[in-house]
Structure 1
Amino acid sequence: MTNEFAPLSSNFQMTRQQRLAELKDGRCWDMIIIGGGITGAGILKLASQLKLKVLLLEQKDFAWGSSSRSSKMVHGGLRYMAQGQVKLTVESVRERQKLLKEAQDLVTDHSFVMSHYQREFPWPWLFNALLAVYDVFAGIKKHKFWSKLKYLSLVPKAKEQELLGGSQFSDALTEDARLVQRLIQEAKLLGAQAVNYVKVLDLLTPGEQVTGVKVQAAENAQTFTINAKVVVNATGAWSDALIPPTPDKQALPFKMRPLRGSHIILPSWRLPVASVIAVLHPKDKRPVQIYPWQNVTVVGTTDVEHHEDLNFEPQISSQEFDYLMQCIRHQFPSLKISADDVISSYSGVRPVIASGGLISPSKEKREHGIWQSPGLITVAGGKLTTFKLIAQQVLHKVKNDFGLDDKSLNQPIFERGNEKDYLASSKLPRHIQKQINACYGALSQVFNEQILSAQNCTGEADAGEEGKELCQTISYSRHIWGELLWAVKYEQVVHLDDLLLRRTRLGNVLPKGALDYLSDIKKLCAAFLPWDEARWQLETKRYKRLWQENYSCPAKDTAQNSAPESALVIQE
């Protein structure tokens, strides 16, 4: 393939078939990372910055697991500090501050509030004392107690009976799947390789040392091997399933405890909130958040044992759904929210390390662990917020092997391009500029030149209707049509749900999973996807079933185990 666009490297523009061919060329990589979530993507990006020859493999889609199904919060976790996990809180808050500087528009500062009621924990003086310590960790002062009248202007429609007021503080929100994509795209610009839908079947262990992996691509049943100096297991909830066949396999240093967290999404006009509202659930006093995200309102999360097969899409249970609805009605009784108001749901499985004993899910520690054996590094646990710290610690373990120094490990994780020049020169509305900058960062100008300027999106007189459409938002979502075009050209879209649930969030935030827009999406994207009409119909059928079973409201008679995804041969 020729380098069609000069600003993008040939490595960045490779087709999927070219990427798969490169996996089979017999080279030995410096590092192979297994797992395409936020942990794996962070390690990939830092390794590429350190000039390592690095490859990431993901058995499903990038961010398919918990990294696209989180609460979208980049925070220290006040409740973790209250539970005594001070080290985790300090690390997380400091990492949050770094990401706010490095990933502007993608990680954004946001108002959080907690209501205080008579005779209910937490008491205002205690909560604000906790916030004072929280701010010290971050090196800022952004908390305040508001009296009842002022607090109701901040949180209208909140339950007023016995309300004392509320505390406001600062934390951050992000779009988790795009965070993963930003890291992967920037790594590919630096020469790294990342391929989705390639499953690692086994580790290569000719002796005591891991020397590579045995894999199988989704396109066919053929298996092949890939060699590497170091293999990193960053598979999240699957971390304890990929262990080399040695006597040590019987004595793992950790055990994963898959815990499901579920959320529901409502229209912002039906449940309008400007801040993240922290609510103590009336049933068990667990904190539940109600917050604005992507022009909708999200409510979550739950924290329950996940006993189903991790290879199946998780789904919200009727009990979890009722639990979240009860929380909404408790905090906003006058709004009379019902199940009919809910747009969609989503569930994710947290990669939590089991502490042992009978500890409740909500009290399990969220700290991470890193274990090293010959040729293999295994990462387990951790939070979205601390992905960069985890990457630094992983690379620190191999710094002598590759001649790395500590200073190089501490560099910013995101590339600093010409974002300021782009924002200053762009003629697009400010909210669209910020959306593009959030998704593409250092590539924003390239996105503008290739997808928007080429289509006359500036609103000039000679711009046709089709051209102007590319920079228009899709319904009330934050996404513009041009994002779909970029995704199918450069972001390894293999299935329709890749495009609608992870490259964009149309399937999460629009009614019926954005099914009403499929004909327009097909018209725009068909030329850049190797799908004939039969494949389009198969993908549409697959997506409809997937969304109905795993992203809609639960039916009372729906079984909790969803069927495995139907087999679909990928041809390009």
Structure 2
Amino acid sequence: MSKVIKLNETLKREVNNHDNNDDLKLTIAKLNSHVLMTRKERIADITDVTAWDMVIIGGGITGTGILKLACQMGLKVLLLEQKDFAWGSSSRSSKMVHGGLRYMAQGQVALTRESVVERQRLLKEGQPLVTKQSFVLSHYKKAFPGPWLFNRLLSCYDFIAGEKQHKFWPKSSYLSLAPQVAEHDLLGGTQFFDALTEDARLVQRLIQESLQLGGQALNYAQVTTLDINAADNQLSVLLEDQKQRLIINAKVVVNACGAWTNLLQINQDKQANISKKPPVNMRPLRGSHLVIANWRLPVASVISVQHAQDKRPVQIYPWQNVTIVGTTDVEHHDDMALEAKISQSEFDYLLATIEQQFPHAQITKDDIISTFAGVRPVTTTNDSLAPSKEKRDHHIAKHQGVFTVTGGKLTTFRLIAQQVLTMVCQQLTVNDKTNALVLTDALNIASQQPILSQYTGAESLAFSHDIEQQILACYGELSAAFVHASEKTDCQPIRYSRHLWAELVWSVKFEQVQHLDDLLLRRTRLGNVLPEGARDLIPQVKALCSPYLTWSEKKWQEEIRRYLALWQCSYSLPQGETSSI
């Protein structure tokens, strides 16, 4: 179980810096020392632990979901991420918390049932970070699917959710719901409901709430080898600056590396005989997206389009005050150590989607603000199957003290965590039947609790509705601490984005920002939603954040060059590469 955390020197400094504000001192004092630690203090705290109950490798949605649930159980748990939290799939997904309507159409009823149940739970527990969202599908003469068939499918979908949430609208009414859609042969459209989230912020919420419960998490900490022994497992961890290597012991290790699962070197015994067989048959599949100014392509609902080329569903939807178009589903053969990026053919494919559904909008490449691409952690038994036909089920495998979890969806992260921890509890109590009952009860209690903690203040945060919702979505139970730690004048939106200036300061102080892209592409989405990756705002960001970072002027200039090169390579328009769709 987690040790009692003492108030560390960082917390004392934060409190003493605000002698003239008793409310602020009280609010800051409520933050766990694990939230307030510097990187040096965090590393020292981690190395001070003789053996962890569990170490999780991978800081995406799967790993952080396991971390949060394990912390709610009271386990002594550590999460290690080789790059930044949510760096991989979990900051570059389609942001949809959905039941997987197309999976039901493909016969994956069990997956759809799990997803719908989890979606409903997240809508109840995760607002306003997870929000209900209208979806619409246009129906055309002699085009599949027709209104009758599609609404029958939705009836099954809604039955699982326990409420009817779909309706067919004839053409005259539908054009008010989805204006400017292609009208030739239009019969009308069907409206139904799923949900959207901000995936990278969801990961951050889980991490920060885990730290609040006494867990630990460290980014830019690569597990280079993992020795599986009869007793504790031993991990060798290389920190990014390569000046320090940590040796960490754990009773149980969870490999939650997603599409990077097979890159983890596992030594089978003390003689370090490296296994030649990969844990799973991983098939990395890339999904790419376009970001467009919402004034050029305004949509209130998610517009689902059956692409004319291959009949795949592609979505055009509102997110973070911009419009997103995605996603593709193609083989990803690039170096997994590098940021995924859109290909020219994917770019053309998505532009064709817009032209198909909104011909009068006349969207061209000049209207695209940015792009992003993620890699799905899909497992396969048949590499010849079309990518969009691959199942999205998750799989959990155990080898001695190591559990490997692969596949799955953003929507089902809590369920995956629960299933992993059920197996972990069995491993931890192999020789301790008394502790078995304690852990089982702890898991049952934790599984009934919300996976996301809510702000429980009795009063409003005293901001406009939109700003208040942004704060509550990003910080949950820490919302009051965020407000008190920020000057109210700083809690204003940055340009047309939803992000607030105060978020930048909070991120560099409390969210383990190590690089400029951590701040602009994952802690906030300024690099995604503003032109040129928010290049023109960098001087203001530097002026605001410099007092809270230990970066020298040379380091700042290196970070700026690094970020701009990264954005140009992986988040701008494609540079003429080709790839088959």
Is the pair's TM-score, using the shorter chain for normalization, greater than 0.5?
Answer: yes
- Residue from 189, 193, 196 that aligns with 1:166: 189
The amino acid that maps onto 2:500 is: I
Paired-residue identity, %:
58
Per-residue CA distance 1:136-185 (angstroms, 9 max, x = gap): 11111110000001101111110000000000001000000000000000
1:381 aligned partner: 407
1:13 is the counterpart of 2:36:
yes
The amino acid that maps onto 2:37 is: M
2:423 aligned partner: 397
1:203 is the counterpart of 2:238:
no
The alpha-carbon deviation at position 355 of structure 1 amounts to 2.5
2:6 aligned partner: none
1:410 is the counterpart of 2:432:
no
The alpha-carbon deviation at position 60 of structure 1 amounts to 0.2
Aligned length: 541
Question: SS in structure 1 opposite 2:29?
Answer: coil
The alpha-carbon deviation at position 508 of structure 1 amounts to 0.1
Distance 1:25 1:418 in 2: 32
2:143 aligned partner: 120
Change in Cα spacing, 1:255 to 1:413, as seen in structure 2 (3 Å) is farther
2:375 aligned partner: 349
Per-residue CA distance 1:211-235 (angstroms, 9 max, x = gap): 1211100122432310000000000
Alignment of 1:488-503 (within 5 A): 488-503=508-523
1:239 aligned partner: 261
- Residue from 457, 462, 467 that aligns with 1:432: 467
The alpha-carbon deviation at position 415 of structure 1 amounts to 4.7
Q: Given that residues 233 and 252 in structure 2 are in contact (C-alpha distance below 8 angstroms), is that contact kept between their aligned partners in structure 1? A: yes
Question: SS in structure 2 opposite 1:230?
Answer: strand
Distance 1:245 1:329 in 2: 52
Q: Given that residues 144 and 167 in structure 1 are in contact (C-alpha distance below 8 angstroms), is that contact kept between their aligned partners in structure 2? A: yes
Distance 2:523 2:243 in 1: 27
1:190 aligned partner: 213
Distance 1:417 1:127 in 2: 36
Q: Given that residues 414 and 451 in structure 2 are in contact (C-alpha distance below 8 angstroms), is that contact kept between their aligned partners in structure 1? A: no
Change in Cα spacing, 1:533 to 1:15, as seen in structure 2 (3 Å) is same
1:179 is the counterpart of 2:214:
no
1:472 is the counterpart of 2:492:
yes
1:60 aligned partner: 83
2:244 aligned partner: 222
Q: Given that residues 477 and 510 in structure 1 are in contact (C-alpha distance below 8 angstroms), is that contact kept between their aligned partners in structure 2? A: yes
1:259 is the counterpart of 2:295:
no
The alpha-carbon deviation at position 87 of structure 1 amounts to 0.6
Q: Given that residues 261 and 350 in structure 1 are in contact (C-alpha distance below 8 angstroms), is that contact kept between their aligned partners in structure 2? A: yes
The amino acid that maps onto 1:411 is: Q
1:27 is the counterpart of 2:50:
yes
Question: SS in structure 1 opposite 2:346?
Answer: helix
Change in Cα spacing, 1:2 to 1:240, as seen in structure 2 (3 Å) is closer
Per-residue CA distance 1:48-96 (angstroms, 9 max, x = gap): 0101000000000000000000000000111111011111100000000
Q: Given that residues 209 and 453 in structure 2 are in contact (C-alpha distance below 8 angstroms), is that contact kept between their aligned partners in structure 1? A: no
2:22 aligned partner: none
Q: Given that residues 344 and 578 in structure 2 are in contact (C-alpha distance below 8 angstroms), is that contact kept between their aligned partners in structure 1? A: no
The amino acid that maps onto 1:430 is: H
Distance 1:26 1:350 in 2: 34
Distance 1:156 1:264 in 2: 20
The alpha-carbon deviation at position 427 of structure 1 amounts to 1.7
Question: SS in structure 2 opposite 1:398?
Answer: helix
Task: Give the structure-2-normalised TM-score.
Answer: 0.91
- Residue from 107, 113, 131 that aligns with 1:84: 107
Alignment of 1:71-150 (within 5 A): 71-150=94-173
Mean CA deviation greater in 360-369 or 394-403: 394-403
Q: Given that residues 355 and 365 in structure 1 are in contact (C-alpha distance below 8 angstroms), is that contact kept between their aligned partners in structure 2? A: no
Distance 2:444 2:509 in 1: 36
The amino acid that maps onto 1:288 is: V
The alpha-carbon deviation at position 210 of structure 1 amounts to 6.2
Distance 1:517 1:495 in 2: 16
1:448 aligned partner: 483
Distance 2:239 2:478 in 1: 29
The amino acid that maps onto 1:412 is: Q
Residue segments in structure 2 that go unaligned for 5+ positions in a row: 1-8, 15-27, 430-435
The alpha-carbon deviation at position 28 of structure 1 amounts to 0.6
The alpha-carbon deviation at position 7 of structure 1 amounts to 1.4
The amino acid that maps onto 1:216 is: L
The alpha-carbon deviation at position 314 of structure 1 amounts to 0.7
Per-residue CA distance 1:321-340 (angstroms, 9 max, x = gap): 00000010010001110000
Per-residue CA distance 1:423-467 (angstroms, 9 max, x = gap): x3322100000000000001111111111xxx2x2xxxxxxxxxx
The amino acid that maps onto 1:500 is: L
1:278 aligned partner: 304
Distance 1:415 1:96 in 2: 13
The alpha-carbon deviation at position 412 of structure 1 amounts to 2.6
1:306 is the counterpart of 2:332:
yes
Q: Given that residues 126 and 452 in structure 2 are in contact (C-alpha distance below 8 angstroms), is that contact kept between their aligned partners in structure 1? A: no
Question: SS in structure 2 opposite 1:410?
Answer: helix
The alpha-carbon deviation at position 25 of structure 1 amounts to 2.7
The amino acid that maps onto 1:551 is: Y
Distance 1:249 1:125 in 2: 53
Change in Cα spacing, 1:163 to 1:485, as seen in structure 2 (3 Å) is same
Distance 1:172 1:208 in 2: 45
Q: Given that residues 210 and 231 in structure 1 are in contact (C-alpha distance below 8 angstroms), is that contact kept between their aligned partners in structure 2? A: no
Distance 2:454 2:147 in 1: 44
Per-residue CA distance 1:281-305 (angstroms, 9 max, x = gap): 1111110000000000000000000
1:40 aligned partner: 63
The amino acid that maps onto 2:33 is: S
1:552 is the counterpart of 2:572:
yes
Change in Cα spacing, 1:229 to 1:118, as seen in structure 2 (3 Å) is same
2:526 aligned partner: 506
Distance 2:391 2:75 in 1: 33
1:543 aligned partner: 563
Per-residue CA distance 1:108-128 (angstroms, 9 max, x = gap): 000000000000000100000
Distance 2:470 2:243 in 1: 40
2:5 aligned partner: none
Distance 1:450 1:415 in 2: 22
RMSD over equivalenced CA pairs, Å? 1.6
The alpha-carbon deviation at position 555 of structure 1 amounts to 2.5
Residue segments in structure 1 that go unaligned for 5+ positions in a row: 458-467, 561-572
Distance 2:328 2:38 in 1: 39
The alpha-carbon deviation at position 414 of structure 1 amounts to 3.2
Distance 2:231 2:109 in 1: 36
1:318 aligned partner: 344
Distance 1:393 1:254 in 2: 18
Change in Cα spacing, 1:154 to 1:335, as seen in structure 2 (3 Å) is same
Per-residue CA distance 1:509-561 (angstroms, 9 max, x = gap): 000100111111111100001111111111001111000111001122x589x
The alpha-carbon deviation at position 250 of structure 1 amounts to 4.8
Distance 1:511 1:110 in 2: 26
The amino acid that maps onto 1:538 is: E
Distance 2:380 2:139 in 1: 33
1:517 aligned partner: 537
